[in-house]
Amino acid sequence: MKAFLLSALALLILPFPSQAQDTPKADVAAGYSFLWIGQGFTFFMNGGSGSVAVNLNDWLGVVGDFGAYHADPGVSLTAETYTLGPRVSYRKWQRLTPFAQVLLGGQHASAVTTGFTNASNAFAFGAGGGADIGLDRAGKFALRPQLEYFGFRANGNTTGTVRFALGIVFRIGRK
């Protein structure tokens, strides 16, 4: 009975077909994301992020990622990130495509305290991954959970953050 229940659970969790899925030419994603900043004092920044990826072949693509975040940890803090880099995808299941990516670019932040705005720019870098979980049989839409380390370097200091994003992906064309 135990083996039967485990087998049934495995069939519910794992994707059914084992054939490779078609590779889209590109995809566009948008969704909610937040940054967890744990250096100095801990706070969260809520916002949104979006990305555009072009697939060069069935496993390698180039992605541009953009995000905007806001928090009120005693001051009004706003940050925008703009990064670019390679993405490696594993396309062996029909409805699940895990991926890993490395991003480099920039970050702009502004803080408002007592009516004055202080703005700064920093070098941004990130590494992490996620998975696209197919939502329809045609393969046009997917749900994308994503977790990454993001670092910002300015004035000789590096601030490390963790970014979590959850969004919807629209896939364009087929290779």
C-beta neighbour count of 13 within 10 angstroms: 7
DSSP 138: T
Quick one: pLDDT at residue 66?
A: 97
Residues of the chain with pLDDT under 50: 4-5, 8-9, 11-12, 15-20
Quick one: pLDDT at residue 88?
A: 98
CB half-sphere exposure, 29, CA atoms < 13 A: 28
- Measured between alpha carbons, how far is 124 from 12 in angstroms, rounded to an integer? 40
At 9 the three-state DSSP class reads helix
Quick one: pLDDT at residue 32?
A: 98
Quick one: pLDDT at residue 42?
A: 80
Quick one: pLDDT at residue 5?
A: 45
Domains parsed from the chain with CATH numbers: 24-172 (2.40.160.20)
Quick one: pLDDT at residue 9?
A: 46
* Environment class of 147 (CB within 10 Å of its CB; exposed 0-12, middle 13-18, buried 19+): exposed
Residue-wise pLDDT for 74-117, tens only, equals 778 899 999 999 999 999 998 999 999 999 999 999 988 766 77
